[in-house]
Amino acid sequence: MKRALLFVSIAIITFLPGQAQKSEEKLVRKTFESYKDCILKDKGDEAANYVDSRTIKYYAGILEKTRTADSLETDALDIMDKLMVLLIRHRVTKEEILSFDGKSLFVHAIKEGMVGKNSVSNNEVGDINIEGEFAKGQLMVHGQKAPFYYHFYKEEGTWKIDLTSIMSIGTMAFKKMQEDSEMSENEYLMMLIEMSTGKKPATDIWQNII
């Protein structure tokens, strides 16, 4: 009887952590799927529920650069951040820029289609590894493994995605497309910005707002 009880106890101890891990993996995957759905449907307010504090901090930093970076500082940004700053100055009013915080800028960017749907449309999360309140899920593109990982953090008991963990992919992609275009970096960005609205960017988008 004691041996039987010991066997059952060991089985339970072995079984429960595995089940807990699988349960957490499902929650991480659900966070990604929910975020992806929000991006594809331009639901900025809902998307904000699935991103972590690091993501909001990044947008707050972009907002600060949009407000204060002069032409030299703007030009010195990496291609992805520079595109963000210039695009916001081109598409968002001064009054809105001054009224936003990091979260409201993020929400606005999604509602206005400034976060491209192609950034998630073909993406899935593959294998997930969890360590405490941190998780990483392998990026899958068209069903194929890519050498990048989405990071997730549990904040206030809920898994949230850290979009800054994959921003290097966008930076590399934009840089490669710019180089292939045989345009200078700034010429390429001006072309993208004009394509986004059909309106030629004004020269003052290089200037700080305040």
Q: Quick one: pLDDT at residue 174?
A: 86
Q: Quick one: pLDDT at residue 57?
A: 98
pLDDT digit string, tens, across residues 95-122: 999 999 999 999 999 999 888 787 788 9
Q: Quick one: pLDDT at residue 144?
A: 94
- How far apart CA 94 and CA 102 sit, in angstroms, is 15
**CB within 8 Å of 49: residues ≥ 6 apart:** 34
pLDDT digit string, tens, across residues 124-182: 999 999 999 999 999 999 999 999 999 999 999 999 999 999 999 889 988 999 999 99
pLDDT tier at 16 (50, 70, 90 boundaries)? very low
pLDDT digit string, tens, across residues 44-102: 999 999 999 999 999 999 999 999 999 999 999 999 999 999 999 999 999 999 999 99
Q: b or e along 21-56 (b: 16 or more beta carbons within 10 Å of the residue's beta carbon)?
A: eeebbebbbebbeebbebbeeebbebbbebbbebbb
Q: Is 65 helix (H, G, I), strand (E, B) or coil?
A: helix
DSSP string, 72-101: HHHHTS-HHHHHHHHHHHHHS-HHHHHH--
Q: Quick one: pLDDT at residue 18?
A: 61
Please say whether the beta carbons of 189 and 87 come within 8 A: no
Domain 2-206 has CATH 3.10.450: yes
pLDDT tier at 199 (50, 70, 90 boundaries)? very high
* Average of per-residue pLDDT values in the chain: 90
Greater pLDDT, 173 or 33: 33
Q: Worst-scoring range by mean pLDDT, 1-15, 31-45, 121-135, 176-190?
A: 1-15
- How far apart CA 204 and CA 90 sit, in angstroms, is 9
Give the residue-averaged pLDDT of 13-32: 79
**Would you say the pTM of this structure is higher than 0.85?**
yes
Q: Quick one: pLDDT at residue 195?
A: 93
* φ, ψ dihedrals at 115, nearest 5°: -100, 110
